[in-house]
Amino acid sequence: MLPGSCLTDDPTQLDVAADLLALLRDTATETRADPQLEALTLAVAADLPVLLWGEPGIGKTAALTQLAAALELPLTTVIASVHEPSDFSGLPVVGDDPAAQGVPMAPPDWAVRLVRAGRGLLFLDELSTAPPAVQAALLRLVLERRVGSLRLPAQVRIVAAANPRSSAADGWELSPPLANRFVHLQWAHDHEVVVRGLAGTWPRATLPRLDPARLPDAVAFARRAVCGLLSARPTLVHRLPTGEANRGGAWPSPRSWEMTLRLIAFATAAGTSREVLSMLVRGTVGDGPGLELLASLDRLDLPDPEVLLADPDAAALPERGDLRQAVLDAVVEAVRRRPDRARWDGAWRVLARAVETGAPDLVVVPAATLARLRQEDWDVPPSIERLAGTVTLSRRADEVAAGVTAVAGTGR
């Protein structure tokens, strides 16, 4: 026997090697805050196709494998780039009388296995290396869940993965019709997660816990948020990017807005963090429209100005300066639309409370606007005295600033 050949000739060494490999694969999971994993599981719960973008070796496949195991779903992996278009659209099968019976499209074996199982996680890997003809064949699978003449069960979820074109092997840009069917999530590594995972403990993927009592309000909130933004910004309803690379990502269309509405409803019912919701919204309609929607969501949570006018002394105002300014402006606008002595007095009390609980400079412009709404027979309310010092101080600061600017302009 040649030196070093015992591993090949002695089967017991292979058994020992198998035991060692089993120990290396024996890992545990733990509950750990992981926003990108939470975003993935929420989109899966919402039954929306997800596309994970990340560099090779970043852990996309491992995350999907762990997700399928955690959700107890059989994982079916299909490498899109090594399949023909007919593998997704179906292969024609000629019967005895095609003129009378037609030519059915036979589905591939992996689709048949999914139907037999009744549930599963379909993982379309290496999507960015699939040629245009294959991408076209995937359109019906991703949107309608049809493969040939076979419809996948409702309990099948679809997740895909892709590398950026710069790092993909013979990569292609994703076609706009296919890209617009996915929730795009940027997958990046967290060094703490990687280190702890290599030590034997990975984050646990769990579906979000939806509160049954919040479902109707969640749907109403999502509809109000999306419809409110699109009513104010109609150009955002459909905006196909001009650049080819951008067309292969997230961009707004009626389809992607419908997906966004669903994600907001699920996130609201689950009490999801704003960071996770931001990843999902921007991954569906793009960064620009997504950030506009997130800003409008902040305003939807603002208190009703009529509620504040009804009980000014108990007014709970936002901590953030921009949101507080928006509330004060809304209170003054409410008085302007329906002027009334009691409402005018109430608005002054709201402004006084704003001075007591936050930055006083925020009340200067609303106070000046509110003062112009006074009618001749309205007495000055006592609460205005609590604002006089703040307004005067602010005006003096403005005058000083204007004087400094004037001096600087003369060169003295």
Q: Do 198 and 51 share a structural domain?
A: yes
* Residue that finishes a domain, picked among 244, 278, 300: 300
pLDDT at 28: 86
Give the pLDDT band of residue 98 (cuts 50, 70, 90): low
Q: Do 392 and 365 share a structural domain?
A: yes
> How many angstroms separate the CA atoms of 366 and 334, rounded?
12
- For strands 155-162 and 50-53, give the pairing: parallel
* Residue that finishes a domain, picked among 261, 280, 300: 300
Residue 363 covered by a domain: yes
pLDDT higher than threshold 70 for residue 211? yes
- Give phi and psi for 77, each to the nearest 5: -105, 130
The domain total for the chain is 3
> How many angstroms separate the CA atoms of 20 and 26, rounded?
10
Domain span including residue 385: 305-410
% the chain with pLDDT above 70? 85
Q: Do 124 and 219 share a structural domain?
A: no
Q: Do 73 and 35 share a structural domain?
A: yes
Give the pLDDT band of residue 64 (cuts 50, 70, 90): confident
pLDDT higher than threshold 90 for residue 215? yes
Give the pLDDT band of residue 156 (cuts 50, 70, 90): very high
Give the pLDDT band of residue 317 (cuts 50, 70, 90): confident
- Contacts of 54-58 spanning 24+ positions with Cβ under 8 A: 54/161, 54/163, 54/186, 54/187, 54/188, 55/163, 55/164, 55/167, 56/163, 56/167, 58/187, 58/188, 58/189
pLDDT at 237: 94
Q: Do 260 and 153 share a structural domain?
A: no
137 to each of 14, 154, 177, 234, how far by Cα in Å? 44, 20, 11, 32
% the chain with pLDDT above 90? 31
Give the pLDDT band of residue 399 (cuts 50, 70, 90): very low
In a 3-state reduction of DSSP, which class is residue 200? coil
Give the pLDDT band of residue 120 (cuts 50, 70, 90): very high
Q: Do 270 and 155 share a structural domain?
A: no
Quote the mean pLDDT of the chain.
83
Q: SS3 sequence, 88-140?
A: HHCEECCCCCHHHHCCCEECCHHHHHHHHHCEEEEEEECHHHCCHHHHHHHHH
239 to each of 39, 250, 293, 379, how far by Cα in Å? 24, 11, 15, 53
Q: Do 166 and 75 share a structural domain?
A: yes
pLDDT at 295: 85
* Tokens linked to 119: 């549930």
Q: Do 63 and 199 share a structural domain?
A: yes
DSSP 378: P
> How many angstroms separate the CA atoms of 355 and 392, rounded?
13
**Average pLDDT score over residue span 274-298:** 92
pLDDT at 184: 96
Give the pLDDT band of residue 410 (cuts 50, 70, 90): very low
Q: Do 114 and 219 share a structural domain?
A: no
Q: Do 41 and 139 share a structural domain?
A: yes
pTM, rounded to two decimals = 0.74
How does pLDDT run across 10-57, given as a tens digit for each residue? 568 888 999 999 999 888 888 888 899 999 999 999 999 999 998 888
Q: Do 257 and 336 share a structural domain?
A: no
* Residue that finishes a domain, picked among 281, 300, 319: 300
DSSP 65: H
322 to each of 296, 319, 351, 357, 387, how far by Cα in Å? 12, 9, 15, 15, 20
